[in-house]
Chain A
Amino acid sequence: MNIQKRFFGLLMLAAMFATSGCVKDDFDTPDNNGCLDEGLTANITIADLKSRYISGNLKITDTLIIQGVVISSDQNGNFYKELVIQDATGGILLLIDQTNMYTDYPVGRQVYVNVLNLYMSNYGGVIQVGASINPDDNSLERIPQSLLTDIIKKGACNQNVTPLEITASQLDPVIHQSTLIKLVSVKMADNDAGVSWATVGGSSARNRTIADCNNGALIARTSDFAKFAGSLTPTERFNITGVYSVFNSDKQFKFRSLDDIEVTPSATCPCIEIIGPVNGTTRFHIDDIRIFDSSQDLLLEGFTSTSGTINLAGWKNITQIGNLPWVSNSGGGQVYAKISVYNTGQPEVATWLITPAITVSGNSETLTFTTQDAYDDGAALEVLVSTDYDGGNNPENFTWTKLCPTIAGGDANGFGASFVPSGNVDISGFTGTTYVAWRYKGQN
C-alpha cells in the first residue's frame, strides 16, 4: 500500500466522519400544549366600549384593548367571517376577513383586541367592529387577515363561558346581544318542527322559530352553508345554546353546532321562574279545557254554565296570596275564565284554578285548552300538574310540575286577536290521581 492509497483511505474516513454529523435530526416541537398566551391587559370592558358608540361609523381613536372569550365558531359554517367575544359585561361582534378562524380562535379562547383605529357601527341593532369604511356605500369593512396578528392577540384556552339561561321575553336587545344564552325546554313552532334548519345547496340563511315555555318566540337563523343545514329541527322539547343577536325588531339566535342542541324528549316545560317585576297589567282568559285519552274525554269544561266567581263542581278556585279569584266573563259570544290584577289595588296575588281529580293511567292522556292575553307585561300564567295534591285549599304545599303548553303572550297594548290553542300537552306520564292547575301571579 503506497502513501496515496493510505491517504485516500484516511481522507475517505475523515469525510465520512465529517459528513455524518450533518444528518438531519427530527425537528423539535413546541411544548406549550398548543396554547400560546400573549398575555395583554385590557383597559376597557366590552360594555364600556359599546357605550361609547353614538351613531354611524365611529372610529376608535384611543388605544383601547378589550379582552373577551370567543363564543362563536365558524367550524361548522354557521358563523362566517365573524368572531363574537364576551366578557363579564357583555359581548361584541368582530367582522374579520378570514375563514376557518376556529383553528386560531376556538370557542373558549381568550383574546385581546386592540381596537385603536377600528370602527364601530350599528347593523340592525348589533354593534359591530370592523377595520375600515367602504367609500362606495359607507358600510363597515372586515378586518383583513393580514392584520389579524397585529390586532387580535391570543390568550388562554378553554375559558368556556357558561351561557345565561333565559327566556325569549326576558332577552334585552342591548344588554344581551352578542352573548351566549341558553333556552331550556323550548320547542320549534309547529310549522318549523321537523324541517331542515336551512336549505342545503342554497346561498342564504333561513329563519326557524323557537317557542319557549312562556310563549316567547325567538328566531334561530341558520346559514345554508352550515354543515348542519340539512339536519332536521327537533320535534320534541330541547335545550339550545347559542349567540344572541337582533336584527331590527327580530330576536335572533345562532348556534354553532348540533352539540349546542340537547333534545329532552321527556321534559315538560320547566316554565322558568319569572325574573324581574311584573307590573300587573297582564290579563288572562282561559277556555275550552279538555283532557282526553286514546278513547274518551276525561274532562271537558267550556265555562258556559258559569257566572261571577268560578265555582264549578269538583274544581278549586283558591286565592293563595291576595284576594283575586278567577271569574266568569264573556265576549265575542264566548264564555271563559278571566283574571286580571290590573287596578285591583292588591300588591301581590297568586290564584289557582284546579281541575277535579282525574285518573291518569298512561293511556295517552292529553290536555288542551285555549288562552287569550291582554296588556301583557310578562308571563304571569303557569300550568301545573300534581299527583300528590290532596284536593285541599293549600295546593302550594304539594309537588307541582310545570307544563309547557303554548300560552298567549306578547299582546302588550290590548287584547290578543283570538284565543290561542295550547297545543297537545302530554300528561300521560303523571299516572294516578292527578290534578291540573292554572296559577296566575301578579302585582299591582
Chain B
Amino acid sequence: MFQSRLFYTAVLLITSLAVFAQTGTIKGYISDSASNQSMVNVVVFLEKTEISTISNIDGSFELTNVPVGRYVIVAQTDLYNDLAISIEVKSGDNDLGTIKLINREGGTDLLSAEDIIPTVSLSENDLRGDGAQNVSGLLTASRDVYINTAAFVFGSYRYRIRGYDGENTDVFLDNLPMNDLEDGRAYWNQWGGLNDVFRSRENEIGLNPVDFTFGGVGGSSGIQTGAASQRKQYRISYAASNRTYTNRLMATYSTGLLPKGWAVSLSASRRWAKEGYVDGTSYDAWSYFAAVEKVINNHSINLTIFGAPTNRGKTSPTLQEAYNITGSNFYNPNWGYQNGVKRNSDIVHSHLPTIILSHVWKIDEKSKLSTSFGYQFGQNGSTTLNWYNAPDPRPDYYRNLPSYITDSTLQDQALQNYTENPELLQLDWNRFYSVNANSIETVENYNGTGRDTTVNLSRYIIEDRRYDKKRVSANILFEHKFSDRFILQSGASYVWQRTYNFKVIDDLLGGDLFFDVNQFAERDFVNDPNAVQNDLENPNRLLKVGDRYGYDYNITVSKTTAWVQGIANLSNWELFGAANISHSQFYRTGNYRSGLFPDDSKGDGEKLSFVNYGVKGGATYKINGRNYLIANGSYMTRAPYAKNAYIQPRTRNQIVDNLQNEQIYSFEGGYLLKAPKFKARAIFYYTQFLDGTDTYSFYYDLERNFVNVALTNIDRRHLGGEFAIEAQIFTGFKISAVSAIGQNIYTSRQSATITLDNSAEILARDLTIYSKNFFVANGPQFANSLGFHYNSSKFFANLYVNYFDRIFIDYNRVRRTEEAVDLVEPGSQLWNDILQQQEMDGQFTVDIFGGTSFKVNDWIKKLERSTYLYLTVGVNNILNNRKFITGGFEQTRLDYSGNNVNKFPPNYFYAYGVNFFISASLKF
C-alpha cells in the first residue's frame, strides 16, 4: 500500500514539472455515488497524455498545465468502476464539479475467494483442513494484476502463490493473530459467509512489509472488523451456484459512524445445498456477526462477535479405477442411499464463536496504539464410518475393485456388475442397519464390572472425530511517525490455545451400543485384555451416542511474540527493516491411559519450548515515478508445529527425536512498471526451507501393521518468477498476460524413522528417503493466463484463457528407499516406475467473470434512499474440461513383493467442470 501511495506522489511530482505554454487547470471533486462521501487517492488522468494526479483527502483534485484541447479524463480507484468523461480544456480554470464514482460491489473485487474458487479437496493428510473454504482466502481485490489473477483465476485450479502452504501466511483479525498454533494454518471458514463485513483487508504477498506484523515468508493478511469501518448500508443478497453450495443468502446492516460516536454492524448469512457439484456433498452453513464501536475523541472501542456454524458433506479423492467405472472424475465414495435419500458418512462440522474486543488510541497526530483481546471456543469435527469385526465398508476399498481380481474373466464380470449396479460403488446404509440389527454379542467384563452381558452391539457406526478448540489472544500494536519519511511500528502478542482431540459416537446405525477397544492392538495382543484397552482406567466400555472413546488428549500451545519495524521513505528509495522474536511452548495432555502405553499416555507430557527469531529488510529503488526496482530478503527460524512433533498423539506422549527449528531464507526482487495504461511486473523469488519435520501414520505392508513415520531433515527450495503485464488498449478495455513459473523442490534426502504404532518399537531409524529434487506437490508450478477486461460505467466483463502445467503428484516417501527397489535392476523401466514422480498433463481452461449494476431509483421513483441492484456472474472452466488433474498423492501402501506400482495407484483430484456463481444484491 505504501508503495502505491509513493507512486502517486511521484506521479504528481513529475507531472507538475511539465510546463506548457497555453494551459488550463482542471479541478473537481470525487465522491462515492451512493454515500456522497468524498474519495481520497483516486487516480485521475488524461488519456493519451502523461498528465495525472490523485485526489486529496477532501476528494478534490487538480490537474495543472494541461494544454488546451479535447481530452478524455479518467478517474479510477480500487473497487469502483472507471469513469471516463470527454472534456474540452480551456485556458484557465476548468471546474468539473463533483464526479461520482459507482462502487463496483458484487464485482470480482468484492467477491471473496469462496465465491470465485470452487472447492478443492485437499489430501487426506490434511484431514483437518479439508477445506472448501480453506483454499487461499488470502487475497482480495488488488490493483496488482498478478495478485488478482493468482488469487481469483489460478486459485480455482489449486495454484498456490510460490507453492507455499498455508502456514507461511499470517492472518490477523483486528490485529490478533488467527493462525492455528498447532499447525500454523489460518482457517478462513471460521468466518465463512461474512463477506460483507470482512472485506476491509490489508494484504501483502512475499516479504513486503505490512503495518501490523512482522509477517510470514508468504505474506500477511489483516482484516478489520470494527463497526465504524463498515460501510453504512442495508444489503441483502442472494446467490446461486453449482459449486460447494447452491444457494446463499446474506443480509447486512451497518449504521456507519453515527453522530454520537456509535456504530453498529450486523450481518448474517446462510449457504446451503442439498448437493453440491460433487454427488452427495451436502452443505449447510450459517453465519452471524455483530460489532459495536464507540468513538470517544481519539479513542475507539469495538466489540465484535461472530461465528459460522457449518455442516458440510465431504468428498474424498479416490482411485482412477473408481472414476473410470463410474464414468465420472467426480465420483464420491462417501455417500449412499438410505431409504432413498442420499446420506454422506463424512460430514465436516465446525462452529467457533469468536469475541474480539479492541481499542485504538490515536495518541497524537503521529502515534497510534492499538490493543486487542480475543477469545474463541467451540467445536470442530469430522464424522466418518467406523467398524468393528466387520468388512471394510468403503466401496472404493482396493479389495472391492475389479483390479484386485487376477482372473480376467472375473474381472470383466465384476466390472460389468459395477456398471450395471452403480449403487455397489456407494455406501450401503441399509446393509449397515441389517448387520447391526443382527449383531447380538456377549461382552465379557463389560465396563470393567467383571460381569458379562449380551447386547445388541453395532458393527458399523458413525463416529465424530473432534478437535475442539479454546483460544485466548492479546495483541498490542504501536505506530509512530517520526516524520513523513520515517515510521516505526512495533507490537507484541500472546496466544494460548488448547485443542481437545477425541472421538465421539455419533450414530449407532440401529444398534444399541458400541465397544471401546483398540481393534488394531487386538490382533497383535491376543488375549491380553489390558493391551487392547483405549483407556485402562475404564476398560471394555459399552458406548452410547455421545460417549467419547478411542482417544482423548489435549494439545496446549502458547506463543509470545514481539516485533519491530522501521520504514523510511526517501526521495528515490524506500527502505524497511524488521525483526521479531518469539517464544513458544507446547505439550500434550492425555486423558486416557492407553493399554499399549500405560506409562506414557496419561497426564501432561514433556513441555517443549522454542525461541525463534527473524530479521528481514528490503529496498525499493524508484528509478522514476513509474519504474521500480525491488529487493527484499529475510531469514527466520520457526519452531516445529505441535502437529508434527508427536509420533502418535492419539496414544502417547512420545516426541519425535531431534526436534529442531526450521530455518527459512528468502529473497525476492525484480522490476515493477506502473503507468496509467501499462503495468508490468517481473519478480523473482528464492526461498529455502531447511530442517522441516513432518509426521504421519500409514499401513506398512512390509510389517503388515500400522506404523508412525517421523520425517526429518526436510529441505525445500521454492524458486521462481512472477510475470505480468497489463495494457489498456482503449478506455475501458485492457489486456493482461500473467505467468507464474516455479521450481519448488525438495533439496535434501529426508530421514524417516518408522515406529510400530502398537508398540513404539522402532522398525527403521533414520531411513534415507531418496527425495532430492522431487517436486513439492502443491498445485501447478506453471500457471499462465491471458485476460481480456472490459470495464464501463454500465458493466464489466473479464475473460481469462489459462494454461497450467508442471503439476506433480505427491510421492510416497517409503517408495523412495533402498528397500523399495531391492533386487530391481537400476535404470530399468520398473526402477523408474517405482522411483520417479508422476507429472500430470498440462491443461487449458477458460473462465469469465462479469457484472453490472442498476440504480433502482430510476425505476421506482418514490424510494427515499439511493438503492442499487448489483448482478454478478462468474463461470469457471467454461469449456468444461473435466480431465484436469490438479493434484493427487500416491498411496502410502506399496506392493513390496510384487513390485507392482499399479497395485496401489495414486489418488487424484480433478478440477470441476463448468461451474458458475451468480449473485444479485440489493443495497440501500
Contact = CB atoms under 8 A, between A and B. Distances in A.
B527 A230 contact: yes
Contacts of A103: 389-391, 435, 438-439, 459
Interface in A136-170: 141, 144-147, 149-150, 157
Nearest to B524: A201
A311 interface: no
A409 interface: no
Interface in A1-58: 2-5, 8, 11-12, 15, 18-19, 22, 24, 27-30, 32-36
Interface string B267-305: 000101010000000101000000000000000000000
A27 B827 CA distance: 56
Given A27-B343, A131-B410, A146-B404, A5 B234 contact: yes
Which of A12, A146, A230 has its CB near the most chain B CB atoms (within 10 A)? Answer: A146
Contact of A104 (B274, B429, B431): B431
A225 to B, nearest CB: 8
Nearest to A226: B526
A147 B435 contact: no
B338 A22 contact: no
Interface string B402-428: 101111011001100110010010000
A98 to B, nearest CB: 6
A132 interface: yes
Given A3-B864, A146-B405, A12 B389 contact: no
A126 to B, nearest CB: 22
A146 B167 CA distance: 42
A147 B338 contact: no
A200 interface: yes
B86 to A, nearest CB: 35
B236 interface: yes
Contact of B430 (A19, A36, A145): A36
B437 A19 contact: no
B433 interface: yes
Nearest to B341: A27
B39 interface: no
A183 interface: no
B389 A75 contact: yes
A100 B389 contact: yes
B48 interface: no
A220 interface: no
A204 interface: no
A2 B251 CA distance: 18
Nearest to B238: A15
A101 B424 CA distance: 17
Contacts of A24: 282, 284, 311
A15 B436 contact: no
Using C-beta atoms within 8 Å of the partner chain, give the interface range for chain B: 35 or more
Contacts of A147: 405, 410, 413-414, 417
Nearest to A33: B437
Contact of A99 (B270, B391, B406, B510): B391
Contacts of B339: 27-30
B407 A131 contact: yes
Nearest to A8: B234
A106 interface: yes
A229 interface: yes
Which of A5, A22, A30, A33 has its CB near the most chain B CB atoms (within 10 A)? Answer: A30
A116 B405 CA distance: 18
B391 A101 contact: yes
B434 A19 contact: no
Interface string A102-143: 011010000000000100000000000001111000000100
Contacts of A34: 433-438, 510
Given A144-B404, A144-B405, A150 B863 contact: no
Contacts of B401: 146
A414 B251 CA distance: 101
B143 interface: no
Nearest to B923: A4
Contacts of B404: 144, 146
Contact of B438 (A2, A98, A106): A106
Given A15-B251, A149-B424, A229-B526, A4 B391 contact: no
The secondary-structure label for the interface of chain A is loop
Given A29-B510, A100-B390, A2 B435 contact: no
Contacts of B234: 4-5, 8
Contact of B400 (A12, A18, A117, A145): A145
Contact of A29 (B414, B433, B439, B867): B433
B862 interface: yes
A2 to B, nearest CB: 5
Contacts of B341: 27-28
A12 B433 contact: no
Contact of A4 (B274, B389, B430, B867): B867
A15 B250 CA distance: 9
B294 to A, nearest CB: 24
B770 interface: no
Nearest to B418: A146
A24 B284 CA distance: 9
Which of B338, B434, B436, B510 has its CB near the most chain A CB atoms (within 10 A)? Answer: B434
Given A12-B236, A147-B417, A132 B435 contact: no
B342 to A, nearest CB: 10
A100 B409 CA distance: 26
A149 B418 CA distance: 10
B924 interface: yes
B551 interface: no
A411 to B, nearest CB: 41
B864 A230 contact: no
B7 interface: no
A230 B391 CA distance: 24
B391 A132 contact: no
A175 B437 CA distance: 35
B366 interface: no
Contact of B249 (A15, A27, A32): A15
A144 B409 CA distance: 12
Contact of A141 (B284, B407, B863): B407
Nearest to A74: B389
Contacts of A149: 417, 421, 424
B641 interface: no
B435 A104 contact: yes
Contacts of B417: 146-147, 149-150
Contacts of A29: 338-339, 433, 510
Contacts of B867: 4
Given A29-B433, A35-B434, A146-B402, A98 B391 contact: yes
Nearest to B284: A24
B146 interface: no
A3 B864 CA distance: 8
B236 A200 contact: no
A356 to B, nearest CB: 50
B808 interface: no
Interface in A159-208: 200-201
B510 A200 contact: no
B399 interface: yes
Contacts of A134: 406
A35 B439 CA distance: 12
B251 A8 contact: yes
A22 B272 contact: yes
Contact of A27 (B272, B338, B435, B924): B338
A351 B527 CA distance: 53
5 contacts: A11-B251, A29-B339, A103-B390, A146-B414, A147-B413
Given A4-B865, A144-B405, 14 more contacts: A3-B864, A12-B236, A19-B249, A22-B274, A29-B339, A101-B391, A103-B389, A104-B435, A132-B406, A146-B401, A146-B405, A146-B414, A146-B417, A147-B414
Interface of A: 2-5, 8, 11-12, 15, 18-19, 22, 24, 27-30, 32-36, 75, 97-101, 103-104, 106, 117, 131-134, 141, 144-147, 149-150, 157, 200-201, 227, 229-230
